[in-house]
A and B are shown apart, each in its own frame.
Chain A
Amino acid sequence: MLDAYHISLLTVMGISVTFALSLNLITGFCGQISLGHAAFLGIGAYGAALLSKAGLPVPLGLAAGALLAGAIGAVVGLTSLRVRHDFLAITTMGVGFLFLGIVRQQDALGGEMGVSGFPGTGLDKEGFMVLVLAVAAATAAFSLYLKKSWLGFAFDAVAEDEDTARLLGVDVARFKLAAFAMGCAIAGLAGGLYAHNVRFIDPDSFGFVESITVLSMVVIGGIGSVWGVIVAAAGLSVLPLWIQFIEDYKLLIYGGLLFAVMRFSPGGLAGAVAAVARRGRTEP
Chain B
Amino acid sequence: MLYVELFLQGLIQGSIYALVAVGLTLVYGLLRILHIAHAGLFTLGGYIGVLVTDATGSLALALLVAAVTVGLLGMALYRVCYEPILNKPPFVALIASIGLFIAMEEIYRIVFGPYGLSYQAPPLQDSVVLWGMHLTQAELAVMGGGVVVIAVLALLAEKTRAGTAWKATVTDPQMAQSFGIDTVRVRYLNFFIGSALAACAGVMVALMNNLVEPTMGSVPSYKALAIIVLGGLGDVRGTLIAALALGVIEAFGTIYLGDLMDRDAIAFAFLIVVLMIRPQGLLGRKA
Contacts and interface: CB of A to CB of B under 8 A. Distances in A.
Contacts of B264: 97, 100-101
Interface string A238-278: 00000000000101101111111111001000000000000
Contacts of A60: none
B106 A255 contact: yes
Interface in B27-55: 32, 34
Contacts of B266: 101
B103 A256 contact: yes
A153 to B, nearest CB: 20
Contacts of B263: 101
Q: Which interface residue of B258, B267, B272 has the most chain A CB atoms within 10 A?
A: B272
A52 to B, nearest CB: 26
B5 interface: no
A33 B91 CA distance: 8
A105 B258 contact: yes
B9 to A, nearest CB: 19
A103 to B, nearest CB: 9
Contact of A266 (B85, B102, B269): B85
B279 A258 contact: no
Contacts of A260: 99
Interface in A47-96: 79, 82-83, 85-87, 89-91, 93-95
| Interface size of B as a range | 35 or more
B261 interface: yes
A135 B264 CA distance: 35
Nearest to B281: A87
Interface residues of A, number: 40
B144 interface: no
B29 to A, nearest CB: 12
Contacts of A257: 99
Contacts of A212: 98, 102
A259 B100 contact: yes
B139 to A, nearest CB: 25
Nearest to B81: A263
A262 B96 contact: yes
A263 B106 contact: no
B182 interface: no
Interface of B: 32, 34, 81, 84-85, 88-107, 110, 218, 222, 225-226, 229, 233, 258-269, 271-272, 275-276, 279
Given A86-B90, A100-B265, A216-B99, 9 more contacts: A87-B275, A90-B271, A93-B268, A95-B268, A105-B261, A208-B218, A215-B98, A261-B99, A262-B85
27 contacts: A33-B91, A79-B276, A82-B276, A83-B275, A87-B275, A89-B91, A90-B271, A91-B271, A94-B268, A100-B262, A102-B265, A215-B98, A251-B105, A251-B106, A255-B100, A255-B106, A256-B103, A258-B95, A259-B97, A259-B100, A261-B99, A262-B85, A262-B88, A262-B92, A263-B84, A266-B88, A266-B92
Interface of A: 33, 79, 82-83, 85-87, 89-91, 93-95, 97-98, 100-102, 104-105, 208-209, 212, 215-216, 219, 249, 251-252, 254-263, 266
